[in-house]
Every structure is written in structure tokens, then in C-alpha cells.
Amino acid sequence: PARGTGAGPFPLAELHCHIEGAAPPALVERLAQRYGVDISAIIRDGAYVWHDFTSFLAAYDHAATVFRSEEDYADLAFAYLRELAAQGALYAEFFISPDHARSSGTEPEVYARGLAAGIVRARDETGIEARMVVVGVRHLGPEAVEAAAQFAAGPSRPFVTGFNLAGDERIGAARDFAKAFDVARDAGLGLTAHAGELCGPDSVREAIRWLKPSRIGHGVRAVEDPALVHEIAEKGIVLEVCPGSNLALGIYPAIAAHPLKRLVAAGVRATLGSDDPPFFHTHLSREYRLAAENGLTDAERIGLTRNAIEAAFVEEDVRRRLL
């Protein structure tokens, strides 16, 4: 199989990308035409339009409604993974949302089956390995998040290996989602949660306390509390850092101000992710470039790929082969 030769001197891997957020605008436009969906409010001149986190989430939700059939989802996962493989990625984990499937009128089982078919197609064609992490949407409330966990824990979910909490971090408290995480943990799923993106260190501390994840999505604002940074490093909790996303959403004004280098220097295990690449005008190889601009050495950047494979929610034999 093709191995990590697309983008540069070392292989890449990512653990943080939302599959609907990876939809190429051209694919969304094509499906919108097919199904008669008006997407003029969210795509203009071939690019997504939004202006803050709330309108980003609304555009994301709107784009998700054009994917309807098993084949549409297979095409989406395949397009995402083929592009990643071309950039030199060996492994990817992407987030899937049963709530977004339902919002387009698709049964979550059909959704997951289509995405799994896309994984198989991409692996056959490029050699890239991928797994799926089911998300519950925080701003839909604890019951919806628990239902998402029950879906993730269901029988026969090929390539589903983890559970995550996404959506608007400003809504609700981490402890409200503890039950959902218990369901996912009892099913043997890997656990991660978005925290420390829009909100500060307290949000990260609460997520660690109540949800007990092995990874945190973003987590970068933990840097505002040195004791918390120490705790994250000590516990070996891995941060899924998405610098391009943070810049696009204005969390940091410039890459020089991004805390990635400081976190790595403090002993935190980090990985890189593209989050919602076309929405944020980014892609994984750019994330690695941004890490270099932030001050990481080549050895440190290779370490981010190694961290991703070590922290991946993947079977041990596959992990050993990738390392």
C-alpha cells in the first residue's frame, strides 16, 4: 500500500476531524442539486460562509442535510480519506454523529454502514487505516448524548471504536454527560471530549473529572492554568490540537500566539487534527506546517504522529503495524 509519501519527510495521522465538517463544498453542491436543497446561505463561490462559532455550527448542520443515502456517506468518507492519504497520512479517526444522520432523514445504521464502506474503499485504494468515533452533541442535551452513546455501544458497529462529546461547549456542564460516558466506557469504547476550545481551564478540568477521557478535543486553553497543564502531562491525557481551527474561529489571533509549543514543552502529549477542514480553509498537512511555524522541531512534529498512533482507538495489532 501507499505509505506516507505524499506531503514530506514523515507520515501524518489525525484523531480529530468531523466527517460532515470534511465535506468538500463541490460535493455538497452536487448533492444539494440532486436532492433540491437550497445551500445558497452556506456556500458562496465554492466556499463555506459563516462568521462565528454559532453560525459555523449552523452552516455545518445545514451542509450535513444533503447526505442522504448509504452511497452518499460512502463517497464522503472515501473523499476525505483519499485526500488525507495523498497528503501522507497513515491513519485517521473521524467523528460521526447519529443526530446529524437523522437530521437528513437517514437511519444512523445506514449512515454508519455507508461511512464504513468508504473506509474499506479508501484502505483498498491507498492503504490508509481509519476508525470512527461517535459524537453526542452537547447542546442537544444529556438525553440526546446518552442516546448517541447507546448507538455507539450497539451490536455490530464496524470501525466504531470510540465516543466523544462535541457541539457547543458553552452549553451545559460536563457532569450532565457522565452517564453517557459510562455507557460508552462499559461498551469498551475509547473516550474523548471537546473541552478548552471556547471555554477555559475549568471546562477541561470538569471534563476530566466527570467524563474520564483518555484524550481531550482541543484542550488548548488548559494552558491558562499551569497546575492543570501539569495534571494533563502527569496523567498522560492526550490533546487533539487543531491550530487551523483555532485560528479560523479566532481563539488565537495568530499562530505565534498558539499554545501548542508551550504545551509540548510542558510535557503534554499532543496530536494534530484538521477539525472541519474546508470550513476552516485547512487540511492536515497545513496543520503540521502551522506546528512548525509555532516553533516545533521536525522531531517534535514526528512525535505528534507517534502520539496519535499511540493514543488511537484501534486494535493493538494495527497499532503495532503503524508504529
From the candidates 197, 300, 310, 316, give the one annotated as an active-site residue: 197
- Cβ-based neighbours of 44, under 8 Å, separated by 6 or more: none
Copy the grid coordinates of residue 20.
460532515
Partner touching 167 among Zn ion, ligand ADE, none, CB below 5 to 8 Å by kind: ligand ADE
- Decide whether 28 or 322 has the Cβ nearer to ligand ADE: 28
Distance from C-alpha of 261 to C-alpha of 140, rounded to nearest angstrom: 34
Residue 176-215 contact track with ligand ADE, rule CB under 6 A, x = bound = ------------------x--x------------------
Catalytic residue flag (residue 83) = no
240 beta partners: 217, 271
**Residue 194 is assigned to a ligand binding site:** yes
DSSP-assigned letter for residue 312:
-
Q: How far is the CB of 56 from ligand ADE (least distance, A)?
A: 7
Binding mask 121-160 for ligand ADE (x = CB under 6 A): ----------------------------------------
What is the smallest separation between the CB atom of 100 and Zn ion, expressed in angstroms? Answer: 13
Question: How many residues bind to Zn ion according to rule CB under 5 A?
Answer: 1
The count of other CB atoms within 10 Å of the CB of residue 3 is 13
With CB cut-offs between 5 and 8 Å by kind, which of ligand ADE, Zn ion, none does residue 258 bind? none
Judged by beta carbon distances under 5 to 8 A according to partner kind, the member of Zn ion, ligand ADE, none in contact with residue 21 is ligand ADE
Q: How far is the CB of 245 from Zn ion (least distance, A)?
A: 7
The three three-digit cell numbers of residue 81, written as one number: 480519506
Provide the grid cell at 39: 445551500
- Residue 154's identity, in one-letter code, is G
Is there a contact between 191 and 160 (Cβ–Cβ < 8 Å)?
no
Q: Mapping DSSP to helix (H, G, I), strand (E, B) and coil, where does residue 272 land?
A: strand
230 is in an annotated binding site: no
What secondary structure does DSSP assign to 17-57, as a single string? BBTGGG--HHHHHHHHHHHT---TTTEETTEE---SHHHHH
Q: Please indicate if the annotation marks 139 as binding a ligand.
A: no
Residue 244 interacting entry, from Zn ion, ligand ADE, none, C-beta within 5 to 8 Å by type: none
For residue 193, what are the β-bridge partners? Answer: 216
Q: Is 275 labelled a binding residue?
A: yes
Q: Give the distance, in angstroms, between the CA of residue 194 and the centroid of all CA atoms in the same chain.
A: 9
CB count, 10 Å around CB of 60? 20
Minimal distance, residue 187 CB to Zn ion, in Å: 22
Rule CB under 5 A: choose which of 11, 275, 282, 308 binds Zn ion: 275
DSSP string, 145-159: HHHHHHHHTSS--TT
Tell which one of 98, 167, 196, 277 touches ligand ADE (CB under 6 A): 167
Q: Could you tell me the smallest distance in angstroms from the CB atom of residue 247 to ligand ADE?
A: 12
Stretch that binds Zn ion, among 50-58, 65-73, 156-164, 275-283 (CB under 5 A): 275-283
Distance CA 216, CA 207 (A): 8
Distances (CA, A) of 239 to 57, 61, 99, 200, 204: 22, 25, 25, 14, 11
Binding site for ligand ADE (CB under 6 A): 18, 21, 60, 166-167, 194, 197, 245, 275-276
Binding-site positions: 16, 18, 194, 275-276
| Catalytic residue numbers, as ranges | 197
Binding-site positions for substrate: 276
Binding site for Zn ion (CB under 5 A): 275
